[in-house]
Amino acid sequence: MGEVLCLDDVYMSFDRGRDRVPVLQGVCLAVAAGEVAAVVGTRDQGKTTLLRVASGSLPADRGSVRLCGRELTGLSDGQLAGVLRTQIGWAARTGPEVRVRVCDYIELPLATGARLPWRERRRLVAQVLRGLDVADVAELSWGELSGWQRVLVELAQAVVSRPRVLLVDDVIDGLGLGKKQAAMELLRGFAEDLDCGVLMAVSDHAAALSADRVWQLSRGRLKLLADLGDPDLIPLHRTGNRGQGWMTGS
C-alpha cells in the first residue's frame, strides 16, 4: 500500500486572548491507500484542527504535510483549491448551509471547478446514493433526513469525486454501536474500492474498533495505541470484518 497522507513534526497553536495556546505538538502520522486510520480524542483536544491541517486548508505553524508525496505547504490558493476539490473528501455532521435537495448537495464537489457534463454529474450522484442504499432521499432536504441518513449523505458527498484521502470528522459520534460498526464497514469499503486512505476523528474507542491504526490525541500530542501490523500494539477489540463493495454498479 502506498502512502497517500503524511504529517511530519506538525505544530499548530492559536491565539486566545494574550496567550498562544498549543493545539498540535510534534504530530506525526501516515495513512496508506486502502487503510482506515483513527484519531481518538475527547472534545476540544484538537481533532478537527488536525484534520484541517491534514487537508491543507489550515496551514500549520511548523512541519510538513504531504498528499501523495506532494508537499501542501506553500501551495498557492488556486493550487490548494484544486487539491481539496479533486483529491480530498471531507465528511462532517454539519450538512448544507442553505436549504437544498440532497442530490444537489452531493453534487457540489463535482460542480465546483469541474467540467463534467450535468448528466454525468447526476449519474455519479445517483450511483453513490444507490451504493449506500439511500437512493430514495435524493429529492429530500437535509431537515427531512434521519440521523443515520445524514451520515450516509455526508459520506456520499465526500466520496462522489473519488478522492485519494477521505477525512471523517466525528461523523459517527453519538451513534449506537451497531450503526458505528455499519459506518466502519462503509469506510472500509471506501478505502478498498477507491484505493484511498481514510483518516477519521472519533470521540471514543468504540468508534474505532476495526481501524487499521488508532492514535490517541491528548494535550496536543499523538500516541499510537493500536496497529494491526504490530501484535504488541492491539489493545482494542478487533472485529476482523472487511468492507464489502459499496458501489452497486453504474
Residue 135 lies in a domain: yes
102: closest CA among 148, 152, 175? 152
Name the band, by pLDDT with cuts 50, 70 and 90, for residue 233.
low
Tell me how far the alpha carbon of residue 27 is from its chain's centroid.
Answer: 18
Residue 249 lies in a domain: no
154 vs 99, more confident: 154
**Domain limits at 177?**
3-233
Residue 146 lies in a domain: yes
Domain count, the chain: 1
CB 216 within 8 A of CB 206: no
CA distance 22 to 100: 38
Residue 187 lies in a domain: yes
Residue 203 lies in a domain: yes
CATH of the domain at 137: 3.40.50.300
Is the pTM here over 0.85, yes or no?
yes
103-121 pLDDT tens trace: 999 999 888 766 789 899 9
Selection from 92-106, 144-158, 205-219 with the highest mean pLDDT? 144-158
192-218 pLDDT tens trace: 999 999 999 998 887 787 899 999 999
Assess whether pLDDT exceeds 70 at residue 232.
Answer: no
Residue 250 lies in a domain: no
CA distance 40 to 223: 10
Residue 243 lies in a domain: no
Residue 205 lies in a domain: yes
